[in-house]
Chain A
Amino acid sequence: MRPSDRMCGLLRLEPAEEALLRLEWRAYRSMLPRDAALLAYWGLALATLLVASLILFGDGFSAQSIFALGAMLVFLIAAYTGGGMAMTVWENGFREWWLGLPVPRSSLVKAKLIAACGIQYVAAAGIWLVCIGHGAVLLAVQDETGTMLGGGELAAIALAHAPLYAALVPLGTFAGYSLLGMYYGWRRWLLVPWIVVTIMPFGLFGILSSLETDAMPYLGAGRIVQYAVVGFLLAALAYRACLWLAGRYGIPDLARHRPGSFGFMSGRSGRKTAAVGNERIGKGFAALYALEHSRYAYWSSIKPVRLVFAGLLLLAGIGGYFGARDPLGLLSALRAMLVIPCIAPMLAITIQISHEANKRRLEWWLGLPYPRHHLLLARFLAVWAFVLRASAGLLAVLAAGVALGGREGLDYFSHGDRIGSIFYILAAYLLCGLFVSALAFMQACTLRSSLLGWLYFPVGFAAYFLPGTVMRWAVPETLLGGRIGTAYWIALTAGAALVLAVVPLSIRMSAKWIHLYVFNTTEDRLRRRGEQAFKFRS
């Protein structure tokens, strides 16, 4: 059997599989631009995205970079939605019905993967169009002095990216869905490469932003087509890997899994507790903080997480050791990495609240006899304490690595200006992170009406890119090696003042509206959507 035949065999659908595929596709169908209203929304969303990309990446990014950024986005969206879907399967109420369907388990997974690819293709097409739009605007407004971008060139880049996007969609989706097989046993080790693969593109972001317009032979149309071919091959590999993992391990694990149990199936791990420890728990706010903290204490006590963290520490040490010879490069890499702790608290807060609403844990939390802003403050403090502690550990190991790396780096960094600039970078990113994570609380207000929700959506989306983009202006490359001017220090102070104002404000606002999450569990939303659909039909 030739490999191509084998591929066809894998993709061929039995009648039962077709029905399965229709079932899976049905879940996505409502998102397609089927009628005028939805088409208008899609148009509006794409236009907003275009405007956002023009604002955020208007200068300093060439058309090539924009398309590359688009590719990154396509991959990330596919991977994270895939991963997200794979995670929700575990707690999905339909799970047991789904597993009980009389078809081979590989077919179940196959239908999910193909349907997910379908909707991701639609999203990718949208992103592609936005990139073309962005390129066209660049084409129109470019002045004579810069490097000229021809219409033909733009078309070539766009056409070259089409297959790349087409390859990245399945690659991202399959990579994301492979999470389905990583819930129990040794497969949990695979979480490490999974996380690395899905976080790497964020690093690409830093590289792209610092690339000069001409110095990008790697983003020429010819190269892109080659990448697309590689992408397709990788996607085929990811497909096989995903089917194997899910069919061999994921689905049996899934069948054994008890919803809500977080994998505490075995008696041994069911009895061991490490989240609170034996120290005395205070009263009032201290207990509230202990409750929030226990979540991180638990997660950082489980083995795979400890191993990942140990790996990161090792990497930081090695990076510091070798980076000592190129201090400027080290600083710029550090700057790129700081984006992650900036985003993490925001992600954590957003996911926690909606997850807890879905699991009906939110009501216990809101039922605690404390003012709501105390609850939120405790949560905010706990997540930051955790992130800061982890970051401080990594930075300390990095610094130790630099110190061991030789006199060169040590001399470089012991200069007063360097210490100043390092302090400036860290402070700027900390403020940025505090700001974005406070924004995450604001999301509660958007549940008041669907209009606000639609309005917030692009803002919330942009917030994830804020640390990567806006910080380019706040912490420009030139600052890394030089002396931080007074203007920057003043700006930093102003930023601190802003954050000091925004954090309490958003906590207060969120405290006022957080109860709306209780009404907005996935279940409630689906029920309401169902009612609407019913109304339309009848």
Chain B
Amino acid sequence: MADSRYPEAKFSAAAGAKAPAIRCVDVTLRVKKKTVLDGVSFEIPAGSLAGLLGPNGAGKSSLMRILTGMFPPDSGRAELFCAPAGPERLGVLSFLPDRGQLPPYLGAGEWLRLAAGLYPDWSEARMEELVVKLDVDPAQRIGSMSRGQEARLQLLTCLSRQAPIIVLDEPFAGVDMVSRESIAQAVVGELADGERTFLIATHDIREMENLFDRIVLIGEGRMLGCHDVDQLRASGRSVESCYRDVFA
């Protein structure tokens, strides 16, 4: 059904030679009688960087929480590499929650040492590289960090893992411009080998639009489009204009 409304979605299925990293089929979620997600279907091919766009309260965070297996959808399927998402799949997925916080009483270095033990796919080398790139001070206590500093530390935690799927929920919320740029840069650096798949929810379309190769638009829990960005541009539209067409 979604396919007939969104011809682009069909294109992706045909073009994706590899198995899709993320696939949602008719995902529906209700919280206390309120429908948060209503029949959301889309696919993200492996190795791509997809943007999940939509206004506040569109259900982006809920959709991401379903993908991370935080809770199951009421109906429909959410799949990672063709197997259903769930807490037992957390190993293939690295998640940055929206406005999430790390234990404030730990120092950044302490947290990273703990994280190295907590995540089986932790890469010490990558962490050391990112500590420099993202300018994180390991001696600083998390509770005394500014929002931008903590956001960078959280992203550092996400990217130091070798999980093939990375889901970032609002990585730029409340983050200053310089931090935003270094976060975007780090994300690109991780993408280059083509083996990791990113799904990023953000309001900061300007900062990210050159990065996305796909965008998924949802509003009020409904699927409002899934586009290949290059195709969009080939037809003379930008991500921003597409967003405006759908939501404004």
Contacts and interface: CB of A to CB of B under 8 A. Distances in A.
Determine whether A and B are in direct contact in the complex, meaning some CB atoms lie less than 8 angstroms apart.
yes
Interface string B97-139: 1111111111101100110111111000000000000000001
B117 A367 contact: no
A371 B88 contact: yes
A281 B117 contact: yes
Interface string A364-407: 10111111100000000000000000000000000000000000
Interface string A233-274: 000000000000000000000000000111111010111110
A363 interface: yes
Nearest to B98: A360
A359 B101 contact: yes
A192 interface: no
Interface in B131-183: 139-141, 143-144, 154
Interface residues of B, number: 39
Nearest to A368: B118
A361 interface: yes
A270 B140 contact: yes
Given A264-B141, A367-B70, A371-B87, A287 B100 contact: no
A273 B120 contact: no
A298 interface: yes
A364 B105 contact: no
Contact of B70 (A262, A263, A518): A518
Interface string A266-298: 010111110110000111101110110011001
A282 to B, nearest CB: 6
A281 B105 CA distance: 17
A286 B117 contact: yes
A167 B22 CA distance: 62
B71 interface: yes
A41 interface: no
A28 interface: no
B74 to A, nearest CB: 13
Given A265-B144, A367-B95, A295 B70 contact: no
A147 B113 CA distance: 67
A515 interface: yes
Contact of B71 (A273, A275, A290, A518): A518
B113 A361 contact: no
For chain A, the bracket of interface size reads 35 or more
A516 B113 CA distance: 29
A105 B109 CA distance: 40
Contact of A363 (B34, B88, B100, B110): B100
A363 B105 CA distance: 17
27 contacts: A260-B104, A261-B104, A264-B143, A265-B144, A269-B144, A270-B140, A271-B140, A271-B141, A275-B110, A284-B120, A286-B117, A294-B110, A294-B114, A295-B103, A360-B98, A363-B65, A363-B95, A364-B101, A364-B102, A366-B87, A368-B119, A370-B90, A370-B118, A515-B65, A515-B70, A519-B31, A528-B34
Interface of A: 260-265, 267, 269-273, 275-276, 281-284, 286-288, 290-291, 294-295, 298-299, 359-361, 363-364, 366-372, 515-516, 518-519, 528
Interface of B: 31-32, 34, 65, 68, 70-71, 87-88, 90-91, 95, 97-107, 109-110, 113-114, 116-121, 139-141, 143-144, 154
